[in-house]
Structure 1
Amino acid sequence: MAPAGAVSAFSTILTARLSWAAAMGILALAILVGAVAAPARAQGTGQSVYVASGIPVEVTGDAATLRDQAVIKAQRDGLRQVLKEIAPADQVEGLLLPSDDEIGSWVTDLAIDEEKIAATRYIGRYTIRFAAAPVQEFLSREGIAFAETRARQMLMLPVYTDEAGTTGLWGPTNAWARSWAQPQNLNSALVPVVTPRGDLDDQNILTATDALAGAQAKLQFMAERYQAGDVVVAEAQMSAPGADGNRSLALDVTRYGQDGIQRYQDTLTGAGGDPDGLLAQGVATVQQMLEGAWKVANLVDPNKRTRIAVHVPLTSLQQWVAIKQRLAQVNLVKTVDLKQLARSGAELEIGYAGDEAQFIRALAVADLFLVSSGEGMSTLTMGGAGANP
């Protein structure tokens, strides 16, 4: 909440400028104005790229200090994982990390997912959330670009062709879909995915033939059904074991999204007696394809900042609150200065990191849409359920 003096000053200004302020409550509106200047970052969408999940730890030594040792190791390994996920892995690999104490000061939340303690041995798995600012500052000092925009969840449609040549999308014979359904495969730092339930409604909407043909009206309907952004059709074709005892898995992945259609292909080889292992390798490969493409498109120069004048048309106070909340979810937004608030809309100056295309893409993830309205001004509108409250 803004200080009392600030509220009074804002109230005076707003009373002069806004005919609707008295009806809606000057005090509530003044608080909103003060809050916009420094939007709080919501935990969740905006910060989730700075979370390391499922960090395995194994240490040995004195039983009295085993857990302390494990926490220190988990924090260091977790930071390394976050850095690899948001920055180019080859640039992060050789980085000298800060001291254990400094890394510990960056941690905002730590959860022990599982642990086993013996006399001299500790095995555990941790989830660690880091504050965004020190991680960003560390990479900036090293001159390393990083991606901090998390994609809107993508709908994954796994189409499987088995070694007999049978192709399917739904049903228990789709071993490829079972591999994707594992929880650890769905919560990527940058590119989260969701898989369909495969119920009768899904089966009536879309067939494997539709998916492979790119039937975009049906794919879009499925995306809306699962509240997803892009749709990914991932076809996997499993071969029979060859003379050398190995089998291959051919991957043909098509991503349908706001940036157009992108296609990725690869062929993997594995032991003929372990098709499930080869499918798991296929899942990891597709994840790397999607995450790599998203990361490259969203790498931000840490030293580049831009300011833009923005008009926000408004129809209600509730809409203004919703837009403010969504702006707070966009990591690329660094500052929001309110220049004027009127019944018909707000005039903002937004400072953001990265280039214009990256900024527009990051806004779209939060269902905010920016278009140029000429003369150095852009218009920001809101999509989704909050567009017309």
Structure 2
Amino acid sequence: MTALVVVTALWQALAPQPAGAKSSPLFTVTGIKVDAREKNAAMARLKAISQAQVKGFKVLAARLGSPAAVKALSKLSPREIGAMMSSLSVEKERSGPGRYIATLTVRFLPDKVRAAFARAGLAITEQRAERIVVLPVWSGPDGNVVWRENPWRKAWLSLNAENGLVPVVIPLGDLNDQQAITAAEALSGDQPKLDAIKYRYDADAILVAAARPTAKNAMRAVLRGNSQLGAIAYDKTFRTRPGQTLDDVAVTAARTFYDRMTARWKKGNGAVAARSGNGAPQTMTISVPFASMAEWNNIRIELLTTPGVTGVDVNSISDSGAIVSLTYVVPLPSLQRSLRIARLNLALYGGQWVLQRY
């Protein structure tokens, strides 16, 4: 591949995506910060894109695999990683003479990522947990704070964990949220109030994350609640290291708790060898109702990117629905859980399997 082709491909990666374009959330990495310098802003931008690909793939490798996988796949070159990229978009950016600073989102091609894991002989975990809301409450000099900006809320937002194996959503903190629950109600475990937030964000569970400084250089953090992972009851005091601020410690605490949840999920949903399937292929005929062809295209893409699905063959299609032969290599309950993550319900009605949005 010539330098011109590489440059052209990188610029195309930043082009706006078609309105109907979708990608697998699991293979999408958001919040990638880059800061590149070069002879001019255009060259700095291209350098930053290359950096973002490498950074994003490292995050993805940690998400899908073990620390050993991250180490093994770190040997891949930027060009090899770039070949696995589906698209790239800008969250925010600014540039100046010879410099480009941005926060980017990188989307990777699932099949190519699986192939990279397989070539390295690495196991991979693709089964996602159902969505969890984490409600951060900060107890500082001004009292308990849940919605105003504070180090603890910023720390959880910085994780960008909505696309992870354990999808975590931090509430917006808008007027509806503020009217739904107060800091005191969150800390006291007011379940109806907590459920209101959980339902608003279409989540399976809600956890309360409480933190407070215990000294100038220390912070106690607690995460509690019930979820698909089981009962969560984390309680730990974190201390600053030389040169760190309390904000840095808050990020460390949030990351530590999230990593513990992810590790628990991986342990209970064991990684499988990265290959075309992890069981004997099974095929079922399903009915898929839809309101428009655009909706059908989105459902079809969701199906094709669902872990364990190896084939989607259309038997017949009309303006309002399709009959599809769905081939999969995971247990049916696992398939149904994965589809629910994409807001798709697969259920048996009158002897016919039906897949529909909810």
TM-score with structure 2 setting the length? 0.70
Aligned position for 1:27: none
**Selected match of 1:379 from 350, 353, 358:** 353
Aligned position for 2:67: 89
- Give the Å deviation of 1:265: 0.7
Q: Is 1:288 the counterpart of 2:277 in the alignment?
A: no
Structure number with larger C-alpha Rg: 1
Question: Does the 8 Å contact 2:151/2:246 carry over to 1?
Answer: no
TM-score with structure 1 setting the length? 0.65
Aligned position for 2:223: 252
Write the letter of the residue equivalent to 1:75: Q
Deviations 1:166-192 (A, max 9, x none): 5x3545486533544x5x444543125
Aligned-partner Cα distance in 2 for 1:45–1:193: 19
Aligned position for 2:326: 350
Aligned position for 2:10: none
Q: How does 1:325-340 map to 2 (within 5 A)?
A: 325-330=298-303, 331=305, 332=307, 333-339=309-315
Aligned-partner Cα distance in 1 for 2:174–2:111: 41
Q: How does 1:60-209 map to 2 (within 5 A)?
A: 70-95=48-73, 97-111=75-89, 113-115=93-95, 117-118=97-98, 124-125=101-102, 127=104, 128-148=106-126, 154-162=132-140, 168=144, 170=146, 172=148, 176-180=152-156, 182=157, 184-186=158-160, 188-190=162-164, 191-197=167-173, 199=175, 201-208=176-183
Write the letter of the residue equivalent to 1:312: S
Aligned-partner Cα distance in 1 for 2:151–2:229: 29
Write the letter of the residue equivalent to 2:274: P
Q: How does 1:9-28 map to 2 (within 5 A)?
A: none
- Give the Å deviation of 1:251: 1.9
- Give the Å deviation of 1:260: 6.6
Deviations 1:74-123 (A, max 9, x none): 433332332222222332213364444333333333456445554xxx56
Write the letter of the residue equivalent to 2:122: I
- Give the Å deviation of 1:137: 1.2
Aligned-partner Cα distance in 2 for 1:214–1:324: 42
Write the letter of the residue equivalent to 2:199: E
Q: How does 1:25-44 map to 2 (within 5 A)?
A: 43-44=21-22
Aligned position for 1:15: none
Question: Does the 8 Å contact 1:223/1:229 carry over to 2?
Answer: yes
CA-based RMSD of the aligned residues comes to 4.3
**Selected match of 1:219 from 164, 172, 194:** 194
Question: Does the 8 Å contact 1:369/1:383 carry over to 2?
Answer: yes
Aligned position for 2:339: 363
Question: Does the 8 Å contact 2:287/2:323 carry over to 1?
Answer: yes
- Give the Å deviation of 1:263: 0.2
Aligned-partner Cα distance in 1 for 2:107–2:128: 15
Aligned position for 1:56: 34
Change (3 A) 1:237 1:323: farther
Aligned-partner Cα distance in 2 for 1:123–1:321: 37
Aligned position for 2:284: 309
Aligned-partner Cα distance in 2 for 1:44–1:342: 22
Aligned-partner Cα distance in 1 for 2:192–2:78: 52
Question: Does the 8 Å contact 2:292/2:320 carry over to 1?
Answer: no
Question: Does the 8 Å contact 2:61/2:73 carry over to 1?
Answer: no
Aligned position for 1:277: 248
Question: Does the 8 Å contact 1:301/1:353 carry over to 2?
Answer: no
Write the letter of the residue equivalent to 2:343: D
The count of aligned residue pairs is: 326
Change (3 A) 1:372 1:162: same
